[in-house]
């Protein structure tokens, strides 16, 4: 079921400052900011040869990233995203094994324009997992 690692998401307070660190200190290719109001975030993708880093900044008062940053004021890894061929089949298989899907359980369109859903961290070794259909 699980495919390649699509990205590692890092929550940050200041998106432009964080992007500057990756661009200037590490020489990474940095994409433009993308507002994702349905997810409550603004994101910037850092392109790496084998995957991506997704920098997440809160967008709006009810952003889940704002809540994350309250607990981790310096920011940090928020989630990992794995690719799957069929997100509905993956969801159904995982739910049949007892995994909890966050939200209403239905995929939403993510920052790459593809269906995504999130799995409860308590079911995956303390890590929030995002699945993205390829």
Look up 130 and say whether it is catalytic: yes
Question: Token match 């995929």: residue?
Answer: 107
**CB 132, CB 1: distance < 8 Å:** no
Among 54, 83, 130, 132, the active-site one is 130
Cα–Cα dist 51/6, whole Å: 6
Cα–Cα dist 122/134, whole Å: 25
- Of 57, 53, 8, 4, give the one whose Cα is nearest residue 31: 53
| Length of the chain, in residues | 134
Active site residues: 130
């Amino acid at each position: 079921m699980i495919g390649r690692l699509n990205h590692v998401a890092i929550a940050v307070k200041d998106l432009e400052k964080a992007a500057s660190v990756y661009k200037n200190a590490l020489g990474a290719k940095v994409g433009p900011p993308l507002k994702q109001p349905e997810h409550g975030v603004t994101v910037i993708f850092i392109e790496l040869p084998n995957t991506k880093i997704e920098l997440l900044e809160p967008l709006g008062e009810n952003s889940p990233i704002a809540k994350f940053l309250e607990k981790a004021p310096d920011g940090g890894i928020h989630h990992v995203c794995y690719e799957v061929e069929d997100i509905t089949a993956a969801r159904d298989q995982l739910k049949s094994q007892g995994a909890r899907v966050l939200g209403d359980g239905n995929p939403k369109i993510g920052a790459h324009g593809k269906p995504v859903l999130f799995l409860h961290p308590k079911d995956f070794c303390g890590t929030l997992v995002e699945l993205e259909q390829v």
